[in-house]
Amino acid sequence: MRIAPDQRLSRLTTIGAGGPAAAFAQPESLAELEEALRWATERDMPVVAVGLGSNLLAADAGIDALVVRLAGDLATVEIDGDLLRAGGGATNAVCLHRARSAGLGGLEFACAIPGTAGGGVRMNAGAYGSDWAAILQRALVVSADGSGWRTPNELGLSYRHSELAPGQVVARVEYRLSPRPIDEIKSDVADLVARRKATQPTNKRTFGSVFKNPPGELGAGRMLESCGLKGYRIGGAVISPRHANFIENAGEATSADCLALMAEARRRAREQYGVELEHEVVLLGVEGSRTEGA
């Protein structure tokens, strides 16, 4: 199990910002993952699991943590009847492709989520009226204290949230899907992809949605748009001209630039609507935030 020092998080996140992690490992089996977690525990070092890095914003100064990215056996996908088994590092795109080929529906919404099975569990990712809680049968959670399978109820899944603690890594996932004609799956996925491309900056470097939608009919994007924030820029980061709940790396953006935009967005939403927006993106190493994976 090779553990490398000083891995830059700008290379591991979709926004392309963030300083170095103290250590980095790519475990390819449960044994290697457990070894990496023991290594971190012996050094009293936090653990952060990073999938495709699509929901993360890491401090420019870096983080004093072991970053793990699951690979090998922990990123495989297999079908067993109407059950899809995936490693925590398996991408949503591969899971959806395998499900479609097997004529299994239920994962179509995941075409809008550029992440991994494990990351989806951690944040109960969702889009277009569905989420992980709707399809998840159980997940294998590994920590330095041991491992065990957990159901959605035991994971405490709610809107963009789970009860997983920092240092707990989702190593395997099982989805319960339903038989569906392949042509219907393809048609729905094509429609969802077209809708996403029409409304979101899919060809830009972002970390996905910035804020959770607040209660009520007005979503975070429309709220921030009405606050006049589309195209608002600080440094190398800009609030997307296409969708105001996205921040784009417009060229050499720093995490500090992104955080400044987030602070301005929250200020305007508070002043104009009396709403305290809650960030959906996971903040790593940022003052006042927890160090956790995604």
* Rounded Cα–Cα distance for residues 220 and 273 (Å): 11
Q: Which of 108, 225, 248, 280 is catalytic?
A: 280
Question: Which tokens go with 96?
Answer: 């959806």
CA-closest candidate to residue 230, choices 29, 196, 220: 220
Cα dihedral 38/43/49/55 (nearest 10):
170
- Concerning whether 280 is annotated as a catalytic residue, the answer is yes
Beta bridge partners of 172: 87, 140
Measured between alpha carbons, how far is 160 from 220 in angstroms, rounded to an integer?
14
Active site residue 42: no
- Residues forming beta bridges with residue 237, ordered by sequence position: 234, 249
Please tell me the distance from the alpha carbon of residue 17 to that of residue 13, in angstroms, as a whole number. Answer: 7
Q: Which residue out of 160, 172, 242, 266 is catalytically annotated?
A: 160
Round to whole Å and give the CA distance between 104 and 119.
21
Question: Which one is catalytic: 10, 209, 240, 255?
Answer: 209
Q: Which two tokens stand for residue 291?
A: 């160090």
Q: How far apart are CA 33 and CA 246, in angstroms?
A: 33
Is the separation of the CB atoms in 63 and 22 below 8 Å? yes
Task: Give, rounded to a whole angstrom, the gap between the first and last alpha carbons of the chain.
Answer: 22
CA distances from 233 to 2, 133, 257 (A): 40, 36, 9
CA 127 to chain CA centroid, nearest Å: 12
For residue 169 the two structure tokens come to 């890594």
Residue of 57, 195, 50 lying closest to 129 (CA atoms): 195
143 is catalytic: no
Asked if 116 and 88 count as a contact pair (C-beta separation under 8 A), the reply is: yes
Residues tagged active-site: 160, 209, 280
